[in-house]
Structure 1
């Protein structure tokens, strides 16, 4: 079994700004990560694998990290590739 596919089954409330939560919700839906969000309620995410946990962290970083940090990360990836 691939370590990234190891079962986790964790359900958490994701702390994300009210302005960003629908963007995060939509992206997680695109990644087929179980999540739900009702009006005036926090975003909830069910993480089933290590890979999904990494994807959730990446999506959250995209909406919360300063632009400069994201540019540096992208430049680092380009150097590695």
Structure 2
């Protein structure tokens, strides 16, 4: 089975000003290239499927309610 090829993309992520630094630092820890300029949206370089999933996971942590996160964690167990 041949998997579809993945093309790298640079995406702008709309994150609240208060959460932007956290997201930026977390992406840096995960070695996902990103830039965060003053008064500009966070820009993330998605180079593979893993980076896309990690970005989604970080986004979910910020946007989901505690109840949703607990439910998801229980589902994973």
Structure 1 residue ranges, 4+ long, deviating more than 4 angstroms after superposition = none
Task: Say if 2:8 is the partner of 1:15.
Answer: no
Show the counterpart of 2:75: 76
Aligned-pair Cα RMSD in Å: 1.2
Q: By how many angstroms is 1:7 displaced?
A: 3.9
Q: Which digits, 9 at most, give the CA deviation of each residue in 1:19-59, with x for residues without a partner?
A: 11110111000000000101211100000001110110001
Asked whether the 8 Å contact 1:28–1:34 carries over to 2, the reply is yes
CA distance, structure 1, for counterparts of residue 70 and residue 54 of structure 2? 18
Q: By how many angstroms is 1:77 displaced?
A: 1.0
CA distance, structure 2, for counterparts of residue 7 and residue 21 of structure 1? 26
Aligned length: 74
CA distance, structure 1, for counterparts of residue 47 and residue 68 of structure 2? 28
Q: Provide TM-score, normalisation by structure 2.
A: 0.88
Show the counterpart of 2:37: 38
Q: By how many angstroms is 1:15 displaced?
A: 1.3
Secondary structure of 1:11's counterpart equals strand
Q: By how many angstroms is 1:64 displaced?
A: 1.2
The structure with the largest strand share of the pair is 1
